[in-house]
């Protein structure tokens, strides 16, 4: 176990549990780097085994401390700041492959494994699990599941929880519980594995995840095109009618960090195709014919490096521009995507904020980043914008914003229905409010 | 139940939802006492709500009077999930059978729980869409029941089970409130908790489902093998090579002969086992996949290979496969079907063990199963009138489950746990694992009225979880 601490008056929390040798090479974050809102954890621990993690949780639960489970820290921008935050409990030393039965197309890994390592492990056997989360080098499997992260390829392959076939978790009281298994089809008891997904570490710490894997496609191809305003309507109306569907399809305004075309061009099309060579070649011909008929000037195809292009686009979801941008995810039906997008554009103009958009045509997600120019008062604009945005699209969720704004923005959007049921669940799983109290929807 | 109490319950239900929606006469109640597994106990009443408001009223009355509620779709469940193990109210969804909306552009549908599974695909077909999960009972089983058991079917191999297709639910809580869940909402994933919960958490009154695009080309291929082990070795090799077609099904000789006698779809009668492969997608891809799969099949001893691309021929092959369990009636008066699932590379060993166990108990076994998913369905044949055979079947069933667990598998792939397998659950899960599931149940079902005696082993919620011998079928088995 590794530990690092902010000096405390009595230092009384030190030495409660035995120290073990550091195992992972990555530099440890400082407590300040793991700040959530205005709260800095007093202590950081990085247990080297599930037993150790369970012992820590049991002890801290008994002593009434508040614990936030941290993976790579890449999706900590989601949710409220916790009400209390004594200990950051990192899973990053739990980073091994437990079982990889590649002939069964299943894998079990510890939850602290990075997404990049999972990808590399699977790719060596010609397989993948499309989790599609930002900063794959740092982001962890457990973090993706706990945050309920949703990537663009879920329309084609399912959500992370659709590929999840089993878990082991540690509850607030230190109980180690497993669910599911290593089979790809399972109706044996409640599907607790899916249930933990999206709970943001408020029910349990995920320590092991079993996935069904998919065979890698023969070809992965990105098609990029500029979309002059005159062509936009025709292209977007027809793009989802292609015979060969792209596995991800975006209309993008701004987000120059996401797409390596010219910086200041609005209106770009980003399509990702995956499949056999024959199929992707046909898709390309079909796409060129559609774009040509619409008057789109030209299309860039990326084969080698398509994966990196796609990863860069996903990274952009949570990139902040200094301390003067906020990124929202608005979910809904693909059919009303452009309507929601137009509403948000109008509100951004009204509040004099610069808007960048990624319209995900397959899932219906809208990723909207608003920012103020250098020197302008972002603070004075963002709160009224946030209010107006949630009046128009109540369920929009903040996925990246300056830490100091966590308390002022409606991070989760409007509370979901059945909040009373969710509160009862939290109480039943974590009666002392040990796990990230206040961080979840409705202040759970 | 004392007759005064029964009359009071009946009176309250009739006042709430009308006399034509309430059954209390024993001759009417008999049909609500069993499902495709078994059933002995009559409910106190059966109700036929027409909407969520009726369901809410019934739940409030049941809650007040402490009466259990058992939701029931078409009663095709194989594990006793829809049986009123301790009486109470059986709630049939026969009158909640409408497709409420079919949104083709967004590829989703909203249905009432009593809609027949196949009906949804039929209604979606003109829009070029269909519904993925297709349990063999799909011509009669309801989508509400399919949600309850997290049903799968042959196409679960590529499309997944119900849980991968339910995007939202409307359900009634124990205090009669109507709630809505959506996978687009943040918060705990109540949708995923409810799917596969077999009616123990809430009463589902509407279901939002994903629809899929009908693939442009579909091939159904039939390969004959000398025995079931070599057919299953071929399946393991196909999956191991990274090829996942839309379905990979195996029928052994016993099953093939029974279905062929009934359906005449042209399956080879002399084969020890038949492998049914469905390949769907773009024509270029399906042809290439067929070549690759046929090559692996031949390498593993396939004796013949035939492919059907015409819809009528494909449909005949699928009708035979899905009618397999029914065709067993030609061979034995009763059968007991298992649903264990193993990692796919363990299929040959699992099949070998099933054969050994059946032989040890002097039972005839037929195998028809979702090989691509590792989901076995051994059918143990017996005559219910012979107590010794019943005993042998139950013992063999337990041994098969234990063998599959030892191979890294689990006890149900798609039928659920229900009443039948609840005391086998501790073979798979520890007391802590089960107590964690029980925490969810305690929140939703504090009075233990939603389908009691299902899923959890007797005593689980009190913390007395331990491995127990499996319950026998028949009178007096209810605990």
Residues 6+ apart with CB under 8 A from B215: B246, B280, B281, B282
Task: Flag whether pLDDT at A16 surpasses 50.
Answer: no
Q: Does A186 touch chain B (CB under 8 A)?
A: yes
φ, ψ for residue B53 (rounded to 5)?
-65, -40
Q: Which of B172, B186, B300 to mutate to test the interface with A (most CBs of A within 10 A)?
A: B186
Residues 6+ apart with CB under 8 A from B169: B147, B180, B181, B190, B191, B194, B195, B204, B206, B207, B208
Residues 6+ apart with CB under 8 A from B194: B147, B169, B171, B181, B201, B202, B204
**What's the order of all strands across the beta sheet hosting A366-371?**
A299-302, A219-226, A266-275, A248-253, A354-360, A366-371, A325-330, A397-400
Task: Flag whether pLDDT at A24 surpasses 60.
Answer: no
Residue predicted with more confidence, A318 or A374: A318
Predicted model pTM: 0.94
Compute the distance between CA of residue A311 and CA of residue B311 in angstroms, rounded to an integer.
41
Q: Around B400, how many Cα atoms within 13 Å sit in the side-chain half-sphere?
A: 35
Q: Which tokens is B428 given?
A: 């798979």
Decide: B240 and B293 in contact? Cβ < 8 Å. Answer: no
Residues 6+ apart with CB under 8 A from A10: none
Compute the distance between CA of residue A389 and CA of residue B469 in angstroms, rounded to an integer.
58
CB contact under 8 A, B413 and A185: yes
Nearest residue on chain B to A330, judged by CA atoms? B184
- As a whole number, mean pLDDT of residues A141-162 equals 97
Decide: B213 and B107 in contact? Cβ < 8 Å. Answer: yes
E runs forming strands in B194-338: 203-210, 212-213, 217-225, 247-252, 273-281, 304-308, 334-337
Task: Flag whether pLDDT at A237 surpasses 90.
Answer: no
Task: Flag whether pLDDT at A79 surpasses 60.
Answer: yes
pLDDT in tens, B439-460: 999 999 999 999 999 999 986 4
φ, ψ for residue A383 (rounded to 5)?
-65, -50
- Computed on alpha carbons and rounded to an integer, the radius of gyration of chain B in Å comes to 22
Q: How far is CA B405 from CA A400, B171, B265, B411, B417, in A?
A: 44, 34, 35, 7, 15
Decide: A328 and A396 in contact? Cβ < 8 Å. Answer: yes
* pLDDT score for B466: 35
CB contact under 8 A, A199 and B243: no
Could you give the 3-state DSSP secondary structure of residue B222? strand
Q: Around A219, how many Cα atoms within 13 Å sit in the side-chain half-sphere?
A: 19
Compute the distance between CA of residue A110 and CA of residue A94 in angstroms, rounded to an integer.
5
Nearest residue on chain B to A422, judged by CA atoms? B188
Decide: B73 and B36 in contact? Cβ < 8 Å. Answer: no
Q: Does B184 touch chain A (CB under 8 A)?
A: yes
Task: Flag whether pLDDT at B354 surpasses 60.
Answer: yes
CB contact under 8 A, A101 and B343: yes
* pLDDT score for B325: 82
- As a whole number, mean pLDDT of residues B233-261 equals 93
Q: Which tokens is B189 given?
A: 């994933």
- As a whole number, mean pLDDT of residues B297-326 equals 92
Confidence of residue B94 (pLDDT cuts 50, 70, 90): very high
Average model confidence (pLDDT) for chain A?
A: 91
CB contact under 8 A, A198 and B282: no
Closest CA to B422 of B353, B354, B478: B478
Contact list in A for residue B183 (CB cut-off 8 A) is 159
Task: Flag whether pLDDT at B462 surpasses 50.
Answer: no
CB contact under 8 A, B282 and A332: no
Task: Compute the Cα dihedral for A415, A421, A424, A426 and give only its sign.
Answer: negative
CB contact under 8 A, A187 and B243: no
Average the pLDDT over each of A104-118, A369-383, B264-278 and give the range with the smallest value.
A369-383
Q: Which tokens is B204 given?
A: 């589902």
Contact list in A for residue B164 (CB cut-off 8 A) is 158, 162
Question: Which of 191-220 (B) contact A at CB < 8 A?
Answer: 192-193, 195-197, 213, 216
Contact list in B for residue A178 (CB cut-off 8 A) is 429-430, 433
Q: Which tokens is B220 given?
A: 């159904």
Confidence of residue A20 (pLDDT cuts 50, 70, 90): very low
CB contact under 8 A, A335 and B440: no
Q: How far is CA B35 from CA A130, A259, B145, B401, in A?
A: 40, 57, 12, 22
Question: Which of 7-66 (A) contact B at CB < 8 A?
Answer: none
Look up tokens 């004099």; give the residue: A352
* pLDDT score for B205: 98
- Computed on alpha carbons and rounded to an integer, the radius of gyration of chain A in Å comes to 22
CB contact under 8 A, B152 and A276: no
CB contact under 8 A, B193 and A191: yes
Across the interface, of A191, A215, A422, the residue whose CB is closest to B244 is A215
Confidence of residue A22 (pLDDT cuts 50, 70, 90): very low
CB contact under 8 A, A440 and B187: yes
Q: Which tokens is A417 given?
A: 């229905």
User: How distant is the Cα of A103 from the closest Cα of chain B, in angstroms?
Assistant: 4
Percent of chain A with pLDDT over 70: 93
- As a whole number, mean pLDDT of residues B7-15 equals 95
Percent of chain B with pLDDT over 90: 86
Q: Which tokens is B190 given?
A: 């109540």
Q: DSSP class of residue A124?
A: T
Nearest residue on chain A to B411, judged by CA atoms? A188
Across the interface, of A179, A413, A417, the residue whose CB is closest to B179 is A417
- As a whole number, mean pLDDT of residues B98-121 equals 97
Contact list in B for residue A102 (CB cut-off 8 A) is 240
Confidence of residue B4 (pLDDT cuts 50, 70, 90): confident
Q: Does B291 touch chain A (CB under 8 A)?
A: no
User: How distant is the Cα of B21 from the closest Cα of chain A, in angstroms?
Assistant: 29
Q: Which tokens is B135 given?
A: 């349990």
Residues 6+ apart with CB under 8 A from B103: A333, A335, B109
* pLDDT score for A260: 63
Contact list in B for residue A194 (CB cut-off 8 A) is 163, 189, 192-193
pLDDT in tens, A250-259: 999 999 877 7
User: How distant is the Cα of A369 from the closest Cα of chain B, in angstroms?
Assistant: 20
Question: Which of 40-79 (B) contact A at CB < 8 A?
Answer: none
Q: How far is CA A120 from CA A114, A125, A131, A163, A281, in A?
A: 10, 9, 13, 18, 26
Residues 6+ apart with CB under 8 A from B325: B136, B335, B337, B368, B377, B379
Compute the distance between CA of residue B86 and CA of residue B83 in angstroms, rounded to an integer.
9
Task: Flag whether pLDDT at B414 surpasses 60.
Answer: yes
- As a whole number, mean pLDDT of residues A272-277 equals 95
Task: Flag whether pLDDT at B468 surpasses 80.
Answer: no
pLDDT in tens, A364-402: 999 999 999 888 888 899 999 999 999 999 999 999 999
- CB neighbour burial string for A203-216, b if at least 16 within 10 angstroms, e if fewer: bbbbbbbbbbbbeb
* pLDDT score for B327: 86
Q: Residue A443: how many CB atoms within 10 A of its CB?
A: 13
Task: Flag whether pLDDT at B149 surpasses 60.
Answer: yes
CB contact under 8 A, A186 and B341: yes
User: How distant is the Cα of A3 from the closest Cα of chain B, in angstroms?
Assistant: 29
pLDDT in tens, B13-27: 999 999 999 999 999
Closest CA to B282 of A280, A290, A249, A247: A280
Average model confidence (pLDDT) for chain B?
A: 92
pLDDT in tens, A403-427: 989 999 999 999 999 999 999 999 9
Question: Which of 448-477 (B) contact A at CB < 8 A?
Answer: 455
| N-term to C-term CA, chain B | 16
* pLDDT score for A8: 40
* pLDDT score for A155: 94
Across the interface, of B186, B189, B436, the residue whose CB is closest to A397 is B186
- As a whole number, mean pLDDT of residues A213-235 equals 91
ipTM of the complex: 0.94
Compute the distance between CA of residue B249 and CA of residue B259 in angstroms, rounded to an integer.
14
Kindly report the length of chain A. 444
CA dihedral B116, B117, B122, B127 (to 10 degrees): 120
Confidence of residue A322 (pLDDT cuts 50, 70, 90): confident
Task: Flag whether pLDDT at B399 surpasses 70.
Answer: yes
Contact list in B for residue A207 (CB cut-off 8 A) is none
- CB neighbour burial string for A133-167, b if at least 16 within 10 angstroms, e if fewer: bbbbebbbbbbbbbbbbbbbbbbbbbbbbbbbbbb
Q: Does A123 touch chain B (CB under 8 A)?
A: no
Compute the distance between CA of residue B259 and CA of residue B317 in angstroms, rounded to an integer.
10
DSSP string, A369-436: EEE--TTS-HHHHHHHHHHHHHHHSTT-EEEE--GGGTTTS-TT-SPPTTHHHHHHHHHHH-TT--BS
Confidence of residue A234 (pLDDT cuts 50, 70, 90): confident
DSSP string, B16-83: HH-GGGEE-SHHHHGGGS--SS---PPPSEEE--SSHHHHHHHHHHHHHHT--EEEESSS--SSSTTS
Task: Flag whether pLDDT at B2 surpasses 80.
Answer: no
Could you give the 3-state DSSP secondary structure of residue B85? coil
* pLDDT score for A262: 55
């Amino acid at each position: 176990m590794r530990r690092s601490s902010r000096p405390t008056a009595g230092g009384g929390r030190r030495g409660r549990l035995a120290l073990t040798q550091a195992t992972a090479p990555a530099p440890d974050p400082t407590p300040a780097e793991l700040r959530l809102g205005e709260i800095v954890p007093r202590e950081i621990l990085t247990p080297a085994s599930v037993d150790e993690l369970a012992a820590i949780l049991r002890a801290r639960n008994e002593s009434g401390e508040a614990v936030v489970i941290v993976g790579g820290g890449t999706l900590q921008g989601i949710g409220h700041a916790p009400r209390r935050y004594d200990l950051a409990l990192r899973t990053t030393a739990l980073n091994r492959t437990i079982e990889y039965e590649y002939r069964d197309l299943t894998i079990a890994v510890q939850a602290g494994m990075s997404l990049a390592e999972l990808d590399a492990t699977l790719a060596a056997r010609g397989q993948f699990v499309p989790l599609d989360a930002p900063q794959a080098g740092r982001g962890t499997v457990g973090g993706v599941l706990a945050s309920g992260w949703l990537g663009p390829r879920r329309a084609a392959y399912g959500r992370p929880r659709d590929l999840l076939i089993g878990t082991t978790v540690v509850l607030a009281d230190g109980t180690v519980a497993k669910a599911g298994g290593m089979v790809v089809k399972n109706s044996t008891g409640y599907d607790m594995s899916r249930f933990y997904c999206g709970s943001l570490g408020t029910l349990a710490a995920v320590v092991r995840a079993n996935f069904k894997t998919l065979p890698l496609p023969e070809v992965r191809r990105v098609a990029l095109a500029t979309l002059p305003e005159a062509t936009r309507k025709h292209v977007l109306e027809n793009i989802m009618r292609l015979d060969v569907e792209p596995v991800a399809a975006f209309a993008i305004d701004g987000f120059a960090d996401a797409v390596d075309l010219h910086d200041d061009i609005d209106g770009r099309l980003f399509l990702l195709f995956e499949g056999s060579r024959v199929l992707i070649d046909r898709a390309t011909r079909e796409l060129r014919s559609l774009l040509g008929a619409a008057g789109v000037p030209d299309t860039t195809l990326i084969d080698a490096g398509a994966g990196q292009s796609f990863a860069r686009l996903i990274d952009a979801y949570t990139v902040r521009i200094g301390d003067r941008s906020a990124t929202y995810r608005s979910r809904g039906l693909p059919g009303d995507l452009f309507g929601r997008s137009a509403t948000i554009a109008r509100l951004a103009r009204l509040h004099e904020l610069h808007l960048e958009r990624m319209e995900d045509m397959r899932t219906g997600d809208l990723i909207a980043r608003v920012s103020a120019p250098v020197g302008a008062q972002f603070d004075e604009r963002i709160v009224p914008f946030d209010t107006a945005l949630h009046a128009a699209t109540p369920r929009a969720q903040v996925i990246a914003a300056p830490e100091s704004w966590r308390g002022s923005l409606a991070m989760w959007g409007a509370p979901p229905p059945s909040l009373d049921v969710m509160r009862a669940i939290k109480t039943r799983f974590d009666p002392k409010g040990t796990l990230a109290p206040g961080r979840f929807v409705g202040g759970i | 139940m004392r007759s005064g109490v029964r009359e009071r319950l009946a009176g309250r239900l009739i006042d709430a939802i009308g006399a034509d929606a309430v059954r209390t006469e024993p001759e009417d109640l008999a049909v609500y006492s069993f499902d495709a597994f078994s059933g002995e106990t009559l409910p106190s009443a059966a109700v036929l709500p027409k909407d969520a408001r009726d369901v809410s009223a019934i739940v409030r009355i049941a809650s007040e009077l402490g009466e259990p509620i058992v939701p029931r779709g078409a009663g095709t469940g194989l594990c006793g999930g829809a049986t009123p193990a301790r009486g109470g109210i059986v709630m049939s969804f026969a009158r909640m059978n409408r497709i409420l909306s079919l949104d083709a552009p967004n590829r989703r549908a909203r249905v009432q729980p009593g809609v027949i599974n196949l009906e949804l695909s039929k209604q979606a077909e003109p829009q070029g869409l269909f519904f993925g999960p297709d349990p063999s009972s799909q011509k009669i089983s309801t989508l509400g029941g399919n949600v309850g058991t997290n049903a799968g079917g042959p196409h679960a191999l590529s499309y997944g089970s119900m849980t991968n297709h339910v995007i939202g639910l409307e359900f009634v809580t124990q205090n009669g409130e109507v709630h809505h869940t959506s996978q687009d909402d943040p918060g705990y994933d109540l949708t995923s908790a409810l799917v596969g919960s077999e009616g123990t958490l809430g009463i589902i009154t509407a279901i939002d489902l994903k629809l899929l695009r009908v693939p442009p080309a579909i091939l159904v291929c039939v390969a004959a093998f000398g025995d079931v082990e070599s057919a299953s070795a071929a399946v393991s090799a196909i999956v191991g090579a990274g090829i996942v077609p839309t379905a990979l099904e195996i029928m052994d000789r016993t099953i093939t002969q029974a279905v062929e006698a009934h359906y005449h779809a042209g399956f080879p009668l002399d084969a020890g086992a038949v492998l049914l492969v469905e390949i769907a997608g773009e024509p270029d891809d399906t042809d290439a996949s067929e070549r690759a799969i046929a090559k692996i099949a031949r390498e593993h001893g396939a004796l013949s290979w035939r492919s059907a691309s015409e819809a009528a021929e494909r449909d005949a092959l699928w009708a035979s496969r899905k009618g397999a369990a029914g065709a067993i009636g030609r061979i034995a008066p009763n059968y007991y079907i298992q649903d264990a699932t193993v990692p796919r590379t363990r299929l040959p060993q699992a099949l070998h063990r099933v054969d050994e166990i059946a032989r040890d108990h002097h039972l005839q076994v037929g195998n028809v199963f979702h090989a691509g998913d590792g989901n076995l369905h051994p059918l143990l044949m017996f005559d219910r009138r012979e107590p010794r055979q019943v005993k042998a079947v139950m013992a063999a069933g337990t041994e098969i489950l234990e063998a599959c667990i030892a191979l890294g598998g689990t006890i149900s792939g798609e039928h659920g746990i229900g009443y039948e397998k609840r005391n086998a659950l501790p073979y798979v899960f520890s007391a802590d694992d089960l107590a964690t599931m029980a925490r969810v149940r305690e929140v939703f079902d504090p009075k233990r009225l939603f389908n009691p005696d299902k899923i959890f082993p007797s005593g689980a919620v009190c913390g007395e979880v331990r491995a127990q011998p499996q319950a026998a079928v028949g009178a007096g088995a209810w605990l």
